[in-house]
Chain A
Amino acid sequence: MDWGQIFSFAIESALGTQAMYFALAAIGLNIHFGYTGLLNFGQAGFMICGAYGLAISIVEYDLHWLIGIVVGLIASGIFALLLGIPTLRLRADYLAIVTIAAAEILRIVVRATSLRGFTGGSNGINGFTAGFQDARPGFLDGGIDLGFISFSSRQSWVLFLGWITVLLGVGFTYLLIHSPWGRVLKAVREDEDAARALGKNAYSVKMQSLVLGGLFGALGGIFFVLAQGSVQPTPQDFGTPKTFFIWVAMILGGTGKLWGPVIGSVIFSGLLAFTDSALRQAVAADYVPKSIIDGVQVGQMRFILLGLGLMVLMIYRPQGIFGDKRELALDAN
């Protein structure tokens, strides 16, 4: 087995596009769940808003890619308002039900045959990254090569901008959370009625949080499709599993912690690639008999192993990597 190759695959994924757009979406989810206590199970829906907002404005309306990003963000803001207005006055679980359904509805609507001329139906949309790639600065033309890992020039530009956005997002979250606004957010998470009794408008703050976290979800979707070069309304791209992977990444890092979603996404992507390539090589080198698993089954097997790993984490470090065990103990009260 070539351990050097396994580790370079793992590190490449840990710093690659999946980790980057997971981090963006997970920052949003952390604002929703970690700081406000909103159960958003439809982060993939916000990603759809961002991805399709970008692709449609470029392909259909010939707009600049930066305007496309703004369109995607606006679309996700509207989506957040639509979800929030009826549900945020109700108990937390209603938002969970509505978001999980709305995200799937949105995905099924954009793949409708009758919208083929607009959203591309089940084929999705291609060829909207040219303008974005034209804007690539010269120093990335040769791609990024760190010796043991390397990224192509196209990928480098997405990664460069994406990771900068992640850092800005973390900084932005820091400023907000360490402010009186952030304090109200956390108070609403702990007990809405207590916040109301002290004169805080819980509904309004929850709405602001839902919109803000949704914008990060949209950014995740935007950078995802910029890296992929196409938008496709498939379950593995924008379905419910995607939402749950983002949840996993956030919980892995530590819910309600500033760097939790970023580190969680990096580790999630790295581990997934590590188990995948390690298994593949083990199977190829006959360390694992073909009668147990073959090369085709590795794809499923890596998720089983990842799931086992998560179970172990939840048993020995339930607060996540960055979490504070004291906080978890308080939940018992």
Chain B
Amino acid sequence: MNAATDTPEAAARDRRRPSGAGRIALYATLVLLALVYFAPLAWALSSSFKERSEIFAFPPRLWPDPVTFENFANLLAEQPFWRWMLMSTVVALLSTVAVVFFCSLAGFGFAKYEFRGKRLLFDVMFSSLAIPLAVILVPLFILVAKLGLAHPLFALIVPWVAPAFGIFMMRQYTEQAIPDELLSAARIDGCSEFRIFWSIVLPLLRPAIGALGVWSFLTTYNNLLWPLVIVSEPEYYTVPLGLQALFGAEGRQYDLVMAGSILAAIPAIAVFILLRKQLVSGLTAGAVKS
């Protein structure tokens, strides 16, 4: 493929790309669209520096006047925001490590072994993608509560550490990225199957692991419905829960919630920007190929 692009025909092809008016329309559309995406975020950022009464000023003012850090200061003074943040981060990190491990392991099992019942088991696993959380919300809540497993650090993490989506993704990637010869060679050397996974396969899965890790971190970090149901003690609130409590309370504390969601978005956006290449290529690898 790379060799082909070096040929003269390929160069000619590239020169014959659409030009003039079409190009301008294309860029105009893309820039306009980027504004549609960017403007609400800029608006949120700007609002978080406005005084409470200014947030809903009419007509709306793009630049806060006066610029105030009061919302952030009030939030941090009145609410245990850093505690929420700590809880969210701990839950998201622990989940992510476990998700990456269990999904890679199961993905490897489905990709590189032949065993009785494989097809059926794979179908069962894949079908579980089509079970909405709301369906099991009530019985799962009761089960977890009755078994005494409702401690947030358990209930927010353990039930979700082997998501079918992640296993599917890792299987797709493993099939493409791990040559069978490598596994046979390791077996000749007398490696146990788990050792093969741990020291040979896992390092080669790094790009997909990056993608799955980012994905898992972000979804756990932003998760709302399950924490809303299972966490009742305010000392175990995650950021979305804490903000939702403020937001749901009488009077909708727009000023505090806005400041809080801006602060909460910083780690998410940082993780995303740092690992975006991996996220995009890893997430899409499975969907494109199968």
Same assembly: no
